[in-house]
Amino acid sequence: DTAVSQTPKYLVTQMGNDKSIKCEQNLGHDTMYWYKQDSKKFLKIMFSYNNKELIINETVPNRFSPKSPDKAHLNLHINSLELGDSAVYFCASSQDPGGRAWDEQFFGPGTRLTVL
């Protein structure tokens, strides 16, 4: 199946821990994104990478560090987790950097992070 996949689907952890979420797309897209969706369903971009290069970093705390080993993968590492980090994190990909009319973003299934 061609798709955007994320692991894990659920992540429950204690405050202060470090965790990673992995994302892979096999659509051949050049651009990948991380979004955070809070309890009010507000979907906010965190990072985007185009061909492994960071192009957007939206004032995200530096506890969050994205890593793109190749253009098909974009992982998210979070240090010193806080209660406010609890949310659903979506990975997405598109052919070009977002914003063009034809530029559909394909989303992964999401990772529900719960920090206790």
Partner 1 sequence: QKEVEQNSGPLSVPEGAIASLNCTYSDRGSQSFFWYRQYSGKSPELIMFIYSNGDKEDGRFTAQLNKASQYVSLLIRDSQPSDSATYLCAVSHSSASKIIFGSGTRLSIRP
Contacts with partner 1: how many residues (CB under 8 A)?
24
Amino acid at 88: V
102 binds partner 1 (CB under 8 A): yes
Q: Is 53 in the site for partner 1 (CB under 8 A)?
A: no
Q: Is 12 in the site for partner 1 (CB under 8 A)?
A: no
Q: Indicate whether 70 belongs to the interface with partner 1 (CB under 8 A).
A: no
* CA–CA distances in Å: residue 44 to residues 1, 17, 51: 27, 23, 21
Cα separations in angstroms, 10 against 17, 43, 51, 54, 115: 15, 18, 28, 26, 11
3-state SS assignment for residue 57: strand
* Contact flag: residue 7 with partner 1 (CB under 8 A): no
In the complex, what is the shortest distance from the CB of residue 16 to partner 1, in angstroms, rounded to a whole number?
28
Which positions touch partner 1 (CB under 8 A)? 35, 40-45, 48, 55-56, 90, 97-105, 107-110
